[in-house]
C-alpha cells in the first residue's frame, strides 16, 4: 500500500530507512564521521544495490520535511543573537545568495555550452545552504554562539531567497515571463515580506492560544499546526512559505517559550521538534545518497568538476568581499577566521535537490543540470562536510576553557532551580499541592539556590575572564532593554523620531563596542 503517491513513501521502505538510520547512528558513535555524512554514504551503498522504488519527491521535501526542519531550527535561535548579527546574516542571505547565484551562472555559461538563463537557474538552485552537519559539529566542539547564529541564520533566510530567485528564473527560462529588473526586485520584496508577515500574524495567534492552555500535548500539536499552517497559508497566497515558517518559529521560540509555556511544555515542545528534525534529516540524507547517480557523474566528470569549481569560487567571491565591506562600514568586526568557516561551512543539500526534483525532465538541459546538482551536493556534503572540523581545529577558533565549562554547568543548574521554584509557587497558588509540601519544596530549592549563588560569586571573583564575559552579557541585555524602551516611547509619541534615532544610534554604538571588545579577545 502506498499513501499519497508522490508525497509519502511506502510504509515498508519508511521502516527500512528508519532502521538503517538507527544503525548508522550507532555506528558513528564508534567512528569519527558526522552522522549526516554517514547517512549519505549509507544511502549511496543502498542505491548501488539496485533499489529504484524509493522516492524522494519535491512535494515530500517541500510540504512534509521542510516546514518541520525550518520551524525546529528557528525556535532554537536566540532573537538577541539574531538581532546582533542581523546585518551579517541578511547581507549573506540576500545579497550574498543573489550575487553567488549569478557568478555561478556566468561561470557555467562560459565553461559549458549551457545557455546563460539555464546556467543562472542552476546557480539559484544550488546556492542555498544546508549546514545541518556543520551545526551539529559546532555544538559538539563548543563553537561561539555568535558564529553558530550567523551560519544557521544565513541558511534559514537564504532558503527563501534562493527559492524565490529560482522561480523567477524558471519562468524566464521557460518563456513564461519577460525580464524586468525592477518588477523582479519588487516581487522578491513582496514575497519575502509577505511571508514574514504571515508567519508573525499566525505566530501571534498561536501565542495567544498557548497562553491560555496548560497541556503540553495540546501545545505541541498547536506548534505543529503553526509550522505547517504558516507554510501552506503563505504559499497559497503566493508569498514565501519558508519565510513564514521562520518568522513563526522565531516568534514562538523566543516570546512563546518565555511567556506562554510552563517549563514542562517548553521541554516537551523543544524535545518533540528535535526528534522530528532528527528523523526527517535522517530520511532526507539517506534518500539523497540513494538518488545520487554515480554512473552519470563519472560520465560527465568535466561538467561536474566545472560546477563544483564554479560554486566554490562563487562562494569565495561573495562571502569575503561582502564581509570585508561590513568590517569597513561598521564597528562590528567579523574575524577572518570566522569568514573562512562561514565560507567553507556553507554546505549544499536538501533545497537544491528539492528544486531540481520539481523540474520537468522534458525541460532543455535537464540532464546537465541533474549531474551538476547531484555532483555539487555529493562533493559539498562529503568533502566539505569532512573537512570543516579540521579547518576549525587548525584555525583554533574553539578555545573553551575548563573553567568556562564548569561555570556553564553551574549556571544551567541555577536556571533549572529557578524554574523549579516558579513551578512550586504556581502549583501552590493553584491549590494543586498542600502547604506543608509547598513549604518543604520551597525550603529545599531556596537552600540549593543560595549554595549555587555563593559558588557563582566565588567563581567570578577567582576567574577574571569569566567575570568580564558576564559583565559584557549583562551590559548587552541592559542596552537592549534601553533600546526597547526608546522605541516604545517613540511609538507612544513621548519623544520625537529624531531624538529616538539619536538615542538608538548611541546605544547601537555601545553595543558594537561590546561586540568589538569580545572579538578582540578571540
Weakest mean pLDDT among 84-98, 170-184, 203-217: 170-184
Tell me, yes or no, whether 140 and 159 share the same domain.
yes
Query: Of 202, 308, 318, 319, whose CA–CA distance to 249 is shortest?
Result: 202
Instruction: Tell whether 294 and 418 lie within a shared domain.
Output: no
Between 26-30, 112-116, 334-338, the lowest mean confidence (pLDDT) is in 26-30
Q: Are residues 81 and 49 in the same domain?
A: yes
Mean pLDDT, residues 159-166: 87
pLDDT surpasses 80 at 181? no
Residue with cell 500574524: 201
296 pLDDT above the threshold of 70: yes
Q: Which residue among 347, 371, 395 closes a domain?
A: 395
How far is the C-alpha of 401 from the C-alpha of 408, rounded, in Å?
Answer: 11
Q: Give the separation between CA 109 and CA 326, rounded to whole angstroms.
A: 30
Lowest mean pLDDT among 160-169, 178-187, 238-247, 310-319: 178-187
Nearest partner of 284 among 6, 13, 36, 71, judged by Cα: 36
- CB 123, CB 314: distance < 8 Å: yes
Q: Report the pLDDT averaged over residues 52-75.
A: 80
CA 105/CA 251 separation, integer angstroms: 36
CA–CA separation, 156 and 242 (whole Å):
8
> Which residues does 376 contact at the CB level (< 8 Å), separation at least 6?
126, 304, 307, 308, 311, 348, 352
Q: Would you state the pLDDT for residue 384?
A: 92
Query: pLDDT tens digits for 432-464?
Result: 888 898 899 888 988 888 888 888 887 777 777
Give the CB-side neighbour count of residue 419, counting CA atoms within 13 A. 16
pLDDT at 186: 83
248 neighbors 199 (Cβ within 8 angstroms): yes
Which value, to the nearest 10 degrees, does the dihedral of the CA atoms of residues 522, 477, 333, 131 take?
Answer: 80
Query: Closest by alpha carbon to 157, among 284, 245, 56?
Result: 245
Are residues 450 and 369 located together in one domain of the fold? no
What value does the mean pLDDT take over residues 32-48?
Answer: 84
Which triple of cell numbers denotes residue 55? Answer: 522516492
Is residue 1 over pLDDT 80? Answer: no
In a domain, 89, yes or no: yes
Domain span including residue 515:
464-522
- Give the CATH number of the domain where residue 117 resides: 1.20.1530.20
Alpha carbon distance 26, 14 (integer Å):
19
Whether 125 maps to a domain, the answer reads yes
pLDDT of residue 521: 38
The band of 11, judged by pLDDT with boundaries at 50, 70 and 90, is low
In-domain check, residue 36: yes
Q: What is the mean pLDDT of residues 328-351?
A: 87
Q: Is 430 exposed, middle or buried (0-12, 13-18, 19+ CB in 10 A)?
A: exposed
Same domain, 391 and 404: no
Into how many domains does the chain fold? 3
- Residue 468, pLDDT > 70, answer yes
Average pLDDT over residues 70-75: 90
Does 410 fall in a domain?
yes
Considering the domain architecture, whether residues 74 and 102 belong to the same structural domain is answered as yes
Query: Is residue 8 pLDDT above 60, yes or no?
Result: no
State the chain's maximal CA–CA distance in angstroms: 82
Q: What is the pLDDT of residue 10?
A: 61
What share of the chain has pLDDT > 90, as a percent?
Answer: 31
Decide if 291 contacts 353 (C-beta within 8 A).
yes
Section 376-401 average pLDDT: 86
Please report which confidence band the pLDDT of residue 5 belongs to, taking 50, 70 and 90 as the band edges.
Answer: very low
Cα–Cα distance between 35 and 429 in angstroms, integer?
Answer: 46
Mean pLDDT of 62-77: 88
Query: pLDDT band for position 292 (50/70/90)?
Result: confident
Dihedral of CA atoms 449, 452, 458, 460 in degrees, nearest 10, equals -90
Mean pLDDT of 248-268: 85
Based on the domain organization, do 216 and 177 belong to the same domain? yes
Query: In this structure, what C-alpha cell is assigned to residue 92?
Result: 549573506
Give pLDDT, residue 267. 85
Would you give the distance in Å from CA 143 to the centre of its chain? 15
Residue-wise pLDDT tens digits, 469-502: 778 778 877 887 787 788 778 767 788 878 888 8
Predicted TM-score (pTM) of this structure: 0.76
Q: Which three cell numbers stand for residue 518?
A: 569580545
120-134, 272-286, 325-339, 400-414: range with lowest mean pLDDT: 400-414
Residues 302 and 431 reside in one and the same domain? no
Q: Report which listed range, 252-266, 370-384, 484-498, is most confident.
A: 370-384
Of 395, 415, 434, the residue that ends a domain is 395
Closest of 45, 22, 56 to residue 350, by C-alpha: 56
- Going by C-alpha positions, the residue among 233, 217, 225 that lies closest to residue 252 is 225
Kindly state whether residue 194 falls inside one of the protein's structural domains: yes
Nearest to 193 by CA among 147, 159, 242, 256: 242
d(CA 473, CA 404): 14
**Given a cut of 70, is residue 259 above it in pLDDT?**
yes
C-alpha distances (whole Å) from 45 to each of 23, 31, 37, 290 are 14, 18, 13, 7
Residue 118: pLDDT over 80: yes
Quick one: 411 and 509 in the same domain?
no
Residue 3 maps to a domain: no
8 A C-beta contact, residue 84 and residue 515 = yes
Based on the fold, state whether residues 270 and 349 are members of the same structural domain: yes
Q: In the Cβ-directed half-sphere of 190, how many Cα atoms lie within 13 Å? A: 10
All three cell numbers of 248, joined, read 513563526
Is there a domain that residue 488 lies in?
yes
Assign residue 363 a region (left: φ > 0; alpha: ψ between -120 and 50; beta: otherwise). Answer: beta
- Residue 204 near residue 251 (C-beta atoms within 8 A): yes
Residues 6+ apart with CB under 8 A from 227: 67, 68, 70, 71, 245, 248, 249
- Please say if the pLDDT value at position 2 is more than 50: no
Confidence band (pLDDT; 50, 70, 90) for 4?
very low
Is 338 in contact with 397 (CB distance < 8 Å)?
yes
Beta strands, E only, 163-294: none
Q: Considering the chain, what is the average pLDDT of its residues?
A: 84
What pLDDT digit, counting tens, does each position of 12-29 carry? 777 888 888 889 888 888
More confident residue, 463 or 135: 135
Q: Name residues whose C-beta falls within 8 Å of residue 25's C-beta, 6 or more positions apart in sequence.
A: 35, 282
Q: What is the pLDDT of residue 227?
A: 95
- Angle 280-97-106 (CA atoms, 0-180°, nearest 5)? 120
pLDDT of 519 > 90? The answer is no
Same domain, 109 and 16: yes
Long-range contacts of 271-275 (CB under 8 A, 24+ apart): 272/220, 272/223, 273/68, 273/71, 273/72, 273/75, 273/223, 274/72
Statement: residue 378 has pLDDT above 70: yes
Are 184 and 287 members of one domain? yes
**Is residue 4 a part of any domain in this protein?**
no
317, pLDDT greater than 90: yes
Which has the higher per-residue pLDDT, 516 or 419?
A: 419
Confidence band of 179 (pLDDT split at 50, 70, 90): low
Amino acid at each position: 500500500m502506498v499513501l499519497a503517491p508522490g508525497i509519502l513513501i511506502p510504509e515498508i521502505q519508511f521502516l527500512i530507512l528508519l532502521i538503517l538510520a538507527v544503525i548508522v547512528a550507532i555506528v558513528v558513535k564508534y567512528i569519527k564521521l558526522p552522522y549526516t555524512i554517514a547517512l549519505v554514504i549509507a544511502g549511496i551503498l543502498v542505491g548501488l544495490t539496485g533499489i529504484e522504488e524509493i522516492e524522494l519527491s519535491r512535494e515530500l521535501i517541500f510540504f512534509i520535511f521542510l516546514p518541520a526542519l525550518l520551524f525546529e531550527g528557528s525556535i532554537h535561535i536566540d532573537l538577541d543573537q539574531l538581532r546582533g548579527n542581523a546585518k551579517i546574516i541578511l547581507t549573506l542571505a540576500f545579497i550574498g545568495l543573489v550575487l553567488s547565484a549569478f557568478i555561478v551562472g556566468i561561470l557555467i555559461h562560459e565553461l559549458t555550452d549551457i545557455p546563460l538563463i539555464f546556467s543562472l537557474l542552476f546557480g539559484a538552485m544550488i546556492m542555498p545552504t544546508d549546514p545541518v552537519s556543520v551545526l551539529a559539529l559546532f555544538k559538539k566542539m563548543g563553537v561561539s554562539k555568535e558564529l553558530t547564529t550567523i551560519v544557521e541564520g544565513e541558511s534559514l533566510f537564504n532558503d527563501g531567497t534562493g527559492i524565490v530567485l529560482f522561480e523567477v528564473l524558471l519562468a524566464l527560462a521557460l518563456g513564461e515571463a519577460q525580464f524586468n529588473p525592477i518588477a523582479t526586485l519588487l516581487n522578491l520584496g513582496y514575497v519575502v515580506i509577505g511571508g514574514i508577515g504571515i508567519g508573525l500574524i499566525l505566530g501571534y495567534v498561536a501565542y495567544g492560544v498557548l497562553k491560555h492552555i496548560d497541556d503540553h500535548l495540546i501545545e505541541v500539536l498547536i506548534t505543529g499546526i503553526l509550522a505547517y499552517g504558516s507554510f501552506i497559508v503563505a504559499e497559497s497566497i503566493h508569498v514565501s512559505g519558508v519565510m513564514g515558517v521562520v518568522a513563526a518559529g522565531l516568534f514562538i521560540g523566543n516570546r512563546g517559550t518565555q511567556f506562554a509555556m510552563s517549563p514542562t511544555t517548553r521541554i516537551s515542545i523543544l524535545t518533540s521538534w528535535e526528534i522530528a528534525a532528527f528523523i526527517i534529516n535522517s530520511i532526507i540524507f539517506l534518500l539523497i545518497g540513494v538518488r545520487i547517480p554515480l554512473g552519470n557523474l563519472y560520465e560527465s566528470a568535466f561538467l561536474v568538476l566545472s560546477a563544483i569549481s564554479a560554486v566554490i569560487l562563487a562562494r569565495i567571491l561573495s562571502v569575503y568581499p561582502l564581509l570585508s565591506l561590513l568590517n569597513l562600514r561598521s564597528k562590528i568586526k567579523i574575524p577572518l577566521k570566522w569568514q573562512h568557516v562561514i565560507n567553507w561551512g556553507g554546505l549544499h543539500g536538501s533545497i537544491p535537490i528539492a528544486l531540481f526534483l520539481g523540474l520537468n525532465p522534458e525541460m532543455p538541459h535537464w540532464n546537465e543540470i541533474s549531474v551538476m546538482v547531484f555532483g555539487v551536493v555529493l562533493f559539498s556534503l562529503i568533502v566539505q562536510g569532512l573537512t570543516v572540523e579540521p579547518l576549525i581545529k587548525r584555525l583554533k577558533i574553539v578555545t573553551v576553557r575548563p573553567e568556562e565549562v564548569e561555570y556553564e554547568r553551574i549556571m544551567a543548574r541555577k536556571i533549572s532551580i529557578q524554574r523549579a521554584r516558579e513551578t512550586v509557587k504556581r502549583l501552590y497558588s493553584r491549590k494543586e499541592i498542600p502547604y506543608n509540601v509547598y513549604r518543604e519544596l520551597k525550603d529545599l530549592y531556596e537552600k540549593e539556590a543560595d549554595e549555587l549563588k555563593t559558588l557563582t560569586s566565588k567563581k567570578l571573583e577567582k576567574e577574571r575572564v569569566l567575570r568580564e564575559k558576564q559583565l559584557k552579557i549583562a551590559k548587552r541585555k541592559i542596552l537592549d532593554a534601553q533600546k526597547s524602551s526608546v522605541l516604545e516611547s517613540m511609538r507612544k509619541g513621548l519623544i520625537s523620531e529624531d531624538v529616538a534615532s539619536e538615542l538608538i544610534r548611541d546605544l547601537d554604538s555601545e553595543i558594537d563596542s561590546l561586540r568589538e571588545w569580545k572579538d578582540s579577545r578571540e
